[in-house]
Amino acid sequence: MKAITAIIHGRVQGVWFRGSTQQKANELGITGWVKNTLEGNVELEAHGEKVQLEVFIAWLFKGPKYSKVKHVDVEWIGSNIQFSSFNIKH
């Protein structure tokens, strides 16, 4: 099991980015969380198999239909936390 953190920059709030991210994570069997930041970005932590996380990262660079992703900061991390699902934090 691997884990990443990511911050997605661009037009990513008000375009259903968090909901789409949750949906994509569920499709790929990834657990973790996603939230909006006060700076107007989206932040997440995701746990899963390396191949699924690589597909997920590629999707983050595109995002949902009305988003405009400018940049994604991704960091592979070690984590002892186990999530049972992928949730939207408010």
18 catalytic residue (yes or no): yes
User: Which residue out of 18, 26, 80, 87 is catalytically annotated?
Assistant: 18
80 is catalytic: no
Q: Which of 26, 36, 41, 80 is catalytic?
A: 36
- Beta-strand (E) ranges in the chain? 2-11, 31-36, 42-48, 68-77, 86-88
| Residues contacting 21, CB < 8 A, separation 6+ | 34, 42, 44, 60, 86
The residues carrying an active-site annotation are 18, 36
